[in-house]
Structures are given as structure tokens and as C-alpha cells.
């Protein structure tokens, strides 16, 4: 999977590649889908949600530019797979999931696989981030928002990066890399068209 679907498509960060090799993707999905676990496509995990395709997970992780000892906010825990990849890199992860059964299942799987010390999972609305643990070195959002949530920008460290899909649920979506420099200036760069489930919640 890593050699043919990820590295061959331009993912070059060794830490990301090593983490993708180490994390067992089949453990983060229903048994009915496990035969497809290492195919490069999203797969259903219940509750109208999906586990992202491996290439997109690797790309978003590389774009976030985080390293050992950094703290990352993840909005949309889903299966827990993205959080595990970050934890495998030595990153401390604070992950928020709005669907309570998914948050419980992800927490259990992450604990079984030994990531509990690196990943905290909370049931809640990720639009508001997790201000108690801010600011973050990086923020990864795994559901599409119609616009960038202001609370997330406020919780990003100067020099930090926010990776987020933005766009309509059934229309055009693009993956954005948002950076905040030391003076607070915000820059945005479109990376590629994507298709994500929508960010849900009160906002």
C-alpha cells in the first residue's frame, strides 16, 4: 500500500511513510470491510461516515508538517486511523468526534493498539476546537466545512498549519493548507479537489 499508493504519488516525508507502514488500517474498520483495508479508497465505518483513503491521510499528515513532541488537534476522529498515524509519529493528538458511538469505538481501538498515551478522544462538536489544550502546532479536519471555522484559526500556534477540506457537501470541495505566520498573517493554498463527508454540528 505505502510503496504503490502513497510513496509513488509523491509523499516523501520519511516519518509519515514509516507511520503509514506501522499502523494497521484493518483494525480501524468493520470486519465486513477488512478485505479492502489496504486499497486506496475510503470505506464505510457506519453512521454515514468513512475512513479516508490512505493517500489522503498521508497527504494531510505531510501537509501539517508536524513532528515528534508537537500537539495536533484533529476534528473528526471517525475510525481513529488518522489519529493513530499521528501518534505513531510521536505527536500528541487531541481528537474530537461528534458521533458518540464512533468516539467510543475509536477510543477503544486506539487503546487496544497502544496509542492511549498519545491520543485523547472527546465526544463533542469539533467546530469549536478544544480550547483547553490550545494552541496547537497543527490542526487536521477530516470533514468538509463550508468555510474555515474561526475558532480553529484562533487555536493555531503562530507558524502552525491547518489542513482542511472546504466546500459544499454535494458540490466542489478543495483541500486547503492554511498557515498563520509569526505576525498573525493568514495565508491559504489550495492543494487538490477532494470529497469528504460534511462537518456537522450546531454551527
Q: Is 97 helix (H, G, I), strand (E, B) or coil?
A: strand
Q: Is 132 helix (H, G, I), strand (E, B) or coil?
A: helix
Rounded CA gap, 104 and 99, in Å? 9
- The CA angle 106-109-115, to the nearest 5 degrees, is 100
Cis peptide before 135 (omega within 30 of 0): yes
User: How is 143-154 classified by DSSP, letter by letter?
Assistant: SBBSS--HHHHH
Q: How far is CA 68 from CA 12, 44, 71, 90, 141, in A?
A: 17, 30, 9, 4, 20
From the list 52, 79, 95, 103, the catalytic residue is 52
Rounded to the nearest angstrom, the gap between the alpha carbon of residue 88 and the centroid of all alpha carbons in its chain is: 13
Rounded CA gap, 10 and 110, in Å? 28
Cell numbers 494497521 correspond to 24
Do residues 7 and 17 touch, judged by C-beta distance below 8 A? yes
Is 117 labeled as catalytic in the residue annotation?
no
Active site residues: 52
Amino acid at each position: 500500500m505505502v510503496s504503490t499508493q502513497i510513496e509513488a504519488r509523491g509523499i516523501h516525508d520519511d516519518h509519515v511513510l514509516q507511520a503509514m507502514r506501522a499502523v494497521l488500517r484493518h483494525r480501524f474498520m468493520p470486519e465486513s470491510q477488512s478485505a479492502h483495508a489496504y486499497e486506496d479508497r475510503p470505506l464505510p465505518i457506519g453512521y454515514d461516515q468513512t475512513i479516508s483513503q490512505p493517500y489522503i491521510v498521508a497527504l494531510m499528515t505531510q501537509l501539517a508538517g508536524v513532528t515528534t513532541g508537537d500537539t495536533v488537534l484533529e476534528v473528526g476522529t471517525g475510525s481513529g486511523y488518522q489519529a493513530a498515524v499521528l501518534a505513531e509519529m510521536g505527536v500528541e493528538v487531541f481528537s474530537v468526534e461528534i458521533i458518540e458511538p464512533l468516539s467510543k469505538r475509536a477510543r477503544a481501538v486506539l487503546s487496544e493498539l497502544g496509542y492511549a498515551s498519545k491520543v485523547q478522544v472527546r465526544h463533542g462538536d469539533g467546530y469549536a476546537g478544544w480550547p483547553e489544550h490550545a494552541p496547537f502546532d497543527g490542526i487536521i479536519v477530516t470533514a468538509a466545512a463550508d468555510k474555515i471555522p474561526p475558532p480553529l484559526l484562533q487555536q493555531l500556534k503562530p507558524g502552525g498549519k491547518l489542513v482542511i477540506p472546504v466546500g459544499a457537501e454535494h458540490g466542489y470541495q478543495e483541500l486547503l493548507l492554511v498557515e498563520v505566520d509569526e505576525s498573525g498573517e493568514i495565508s491559504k493554498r489550495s492543494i487538490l479537489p477532494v470529497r469528504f463527508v460534511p462537518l456537522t454540528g450546531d454551527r
